[in-house]
Amino acid sequence: MIKQALGRQGEELAASYLQAQGYLILTRNYRCREGEIDIICEVGRTLVFVEVKTRRSLTFGSPEEAVTLRKQDTIRRVAMHWLREQQMYRRDLRFDVVSILLTGEEPKLSHIKNAF
């Protein structure tokens, strides 16, 4: 339960950050049989699939290091499922990672565009 609360907190911070940067949030926590994507948004004509990783310490590495090749493959499959479902074709696509570290008073957020 604590891990889920941490994830939700990170996703809220990431969504607020993205909106402040001019991104339009289309969907949050999209799930299908392939898996899940935290945030699907667009900026200009580019669809952006965002994986949010939040941690309270660097004991097990930085948050973005948790986006393994296996996780990347899952995100790609889920993105393709969403695109077919929405019938969105011929759009520029991008896969980003928003990394959030909650170790002090202020969250440390890093937005990695075109992460994979």
Residue 75: CB atoms within 10 Å? 23
Between 113 and 91, the higher pLDDT residue:
113
pLDDT digits (tens, 9 = 90+) for 70-89: 999 999 999 999 999 999 88
pLDDT digits (tens, 9 = 90+) for 92-109: 999 999 999 998 789 999
At residue 1 the predicted structure's pLDDT band, cuts being 50, 70 and 90, is low
Sign for the pseudo-dihedral over CA of 101, 48, 26, 20: positive
